[in-house]
Structure 1
Amino acid sequence: MKLIILTQREKLYEDEVKEVSLPGRDGELSVWDFHQPFLYRLGKGNIRFGLTSKGIAGGSKSRIPIKDGIAKMLSNTLTVLAEV
């Protein structure tokens, strides 16, 4: 899936990933390829994403800390508008 992470000032990230873990107000949400469309309110925490077929658990991974935000999944593209 394509992951795009934006703030009011800049684009923090845009690339293909295998798995994303989003910090929600009610817990974490894991998102995989071709996840059903959604809008999700984010809370304080880390956006974690896996860059290989092993996903977050076994492959190369990255994280971006955020304070708040909104995530939208549509057409295998996850767009995050975040306050960092």
Structure 2
Amino acid sequence: MAPKTEPRLNSMIGEGSIFEGKFYISGSIQIDGRFEGEVRTEDELIVGETGKVKTDIVAKRVVVGGTVIGNIDAEEEVLLLSTGRV
């Protein structure tokens, strides 16, 4: 069995940043700022501890360390950290 590799982070919305709109990405993304709209990725989406998103998420894997308001559609898994709220 091949070892599990960590996903490569392609995009980041940093703490203090605000993004509104649609974001479609083939790689992984981490959101540490505010995001409102629609986000889809073929890989992993991470909502960091300072991240606040109001969106419907479609991703392979989702890690929630911040706040998500909306639906999560994950192909593999949703991981809710102790700091996360959905």
TM-score between both structures, scaled by the size of structure 2: 0.28
Higher helix share: 1
TM-score between both structures, scaled by the size of structure 1: 0.28
Answer 1 or 2: higher relative contact order, Cα 8 Å, separation at least 6: 1
